[in-house]
Structure 1
Amino acid sequence: MLDQITPFVVDLASSPLVYLTLFLLCLVDGFFPPVPSETALVAVAAVAATSGQPVLAVVLGAAALGAIAGDSIAYAIGRRIGLQRLRNARRPRIAAAFAFAERQMQRRSASLILIGRYVPVGRVAVNMTAGATGLPYRRFLGISAVAGIAWSTTSIGIALATSSFLHEPLVAAAVSMVVAGGLGLAVDRVLGRLQRRRAARTAATVVGTVTDREARPTPATDQTPRAARAMTAPRPTTCTVTTGGTARP
């Protein structure tokens, strides 16, 4: 049944429904890998390049928005399920994908999310792990937007470059992963520099606060030892009282 999806989408190339169909395919593919969104996207782009229908810009936008929405759904599922349940996946391949994503998420999240967008099982594992590990959604959404746009642009570019690649999804995936890897390294470097600058500013602020506290004069207090105060304290005096007889102390 899934094998018939791509021919069905190609048949809709001259209909406005093709945009909605591509959006839904890319959305579902974000959390259900068997859906062949890449193949359908490349095929529709090839038809558009040769016949002028559908409009390539709208195809790109529909695919990118669907990919971003699907990634966000996978992120929400991961946050809902939790990290422990992801580790205990029944299928070894899926469990291994989640384990790898968990190890790499904290160090190179941008590269991982961008490259994972081009791997059907990998994108689900990466995005769900991002949610389960508590990666801030604002950061995830920004990286996912870059990944979705890059993924749809690369797929359409491959279709425009040569029609001989239309039936070679592995070649398309390999080229896409190279492009995604370069984008991921660039984004990670930019984020790393921003984080280092933020950490440096925070450290400078802390050092300045501590220095100001040390420079403030301490209020004068009575530092006289307790024993010395006791020795210098006035002693009570005795007096004699005359009662008409012998004076008694």
Structure 2
Amino acid sequence: MALLVLGDAFFVVVPGEIAVTALGALSISSGAPPLWAVIAVAAAAAACGDLLCYSIGRWAGIERWRWIRSARVVRARTWAHGRLQSGTAVVLFTARFIPFARLAVNLVAGATRVPLPRYAALVAVAATGWAAYQAAVGALFAAILPGGPIVAILVSVVTAIVIGALIDLLIRRRDRARAGYRSPARRD
């Protein structure tokens, strides 16, 4: 799980959230591993991944690679930069739950030299909240569903995927609504 969560910081297709949710369900339905250990390991791995992305952003900047200049990542970077200037804590907590935003925020935070002590403390809190939430989703379904760990894991993983898809849908709708409110350019 730790490797998946760590890898998820760099490669958004890695199922870190799903691993935490599944182990949260397994923890409650079978008693092992302990739920506190799932949360602690997931939080540590998430924080390490975020700090490594921060370090890469600080060392390499944010224009070096072609993939980071893609339209989706540029939008995320622009959002991250603007938000980091006005409220680092809100951005880090929000981005923790949005894969491309999380990557962009961490790279931009490093590239723009957000002070490391403040950044690291906020990342630790955000990663712990994220890990607790992901594990709690699995634990909740394991506690209320009969059928043992396999049923709890399957239902909690499907639920985590649905929640993620709903969040993505809401973000896309919000972005389209915001784009619709912009006034059209004047033509003379």
Structures share fold, TM-score greater than 0.5: yes
Listed one character per residue, the Cα deviations across residues 208-243 of structure 1 (whole Å, up to 9, x for unaligned) are xxxxxxxxxxxxxxxxxxxxxxxxxxxxxxxxxxxx
For 2:112 and 2:66, the matched residues in 1 are separated by 12
**Structure 2 partner of 1:241:** none
- Residue 120 and residue 91 in structure 1: after superposition, are their counterparts in 2 closer, same or farther (change >3 A)? same
Choose from 46, 49, 63 the match for 1:67. Answer: 46
- Deviation of 1:170 after TM superposition, in Å, equals 4.3
State the match for 1:30 in structure 2. Answer: 9
Residue matched to 2:88: 109
Residue from 102, 122, 147 that aligns with 2:101: 122
Q: TM-score, normalised by structure 1?
A: 0.57
Higher relative contact order by CA 8 Å / sep ≥ 6: 1 or 2? 2
The answer to whether the 8 A contact 2:60-2:111 is kept is yes
- Which residue number in structure 1 is paired with residue 159 of structure 2? 168
Aligned-partner Cα distance in 2 for 1:159–1:50: 10
Cα deviation code 1:55-111 (max 9, x no counterpart): 111111111100010000000011112245489933211111111111111101111
| Greater per-residue helix proportion | 2
Give the 3 Å change call, closer, same or farther, for CA 68–176 of structure 1 in structure 2: farther
Query: Aligned partners of 2:116 and 2:41: how far apart in 1?
Result: 22
Work out the CA distance in 1 between the residues paired with 2:126 and 2:167. 11
- Pairwise CA distance, 1:43: 0.9
Q: Is 1:40 aligned to residue 19 of structure 2?
A: yes
Report the CA distance between 1:46 and its aligned residue.
Answer: 0.6
Query: Is structure 2 residue 111 aligned with structure 1 residue 132?
Result: yes
TM-score by length of 2: 0.75
Mapped contact 2:62–2:68 kept (Cα < 8 A): no
Residues 146-185 of structure 1 aligned to structure 2 (within 5 Å): 146-162=125-141, 163=152, 164-173=155-164
Whether the 8 Å CA contact 1:83–1:129 is kept in 2: the answer is: yes
Identity over aligned residues, as a percent? 34
AA of the residue aligned to 1:67 = A
CA distance in 2 between counterparts of 1:175 and 1:154 reads 16
Q: How many residues align?
A: 156
**Structure 2, unpaired ranges of 5+:** 142-151, 169-188
How far apart, CA to CA, are the structure 1 residues paired with 2:19 and 2:67? 33
Please give the root-mean-square deviation of Cα atoms over the aligned residues, in Å.
Answer: 2.4
Structure 1 unmatched runs, 5+: 1-21, 178-249
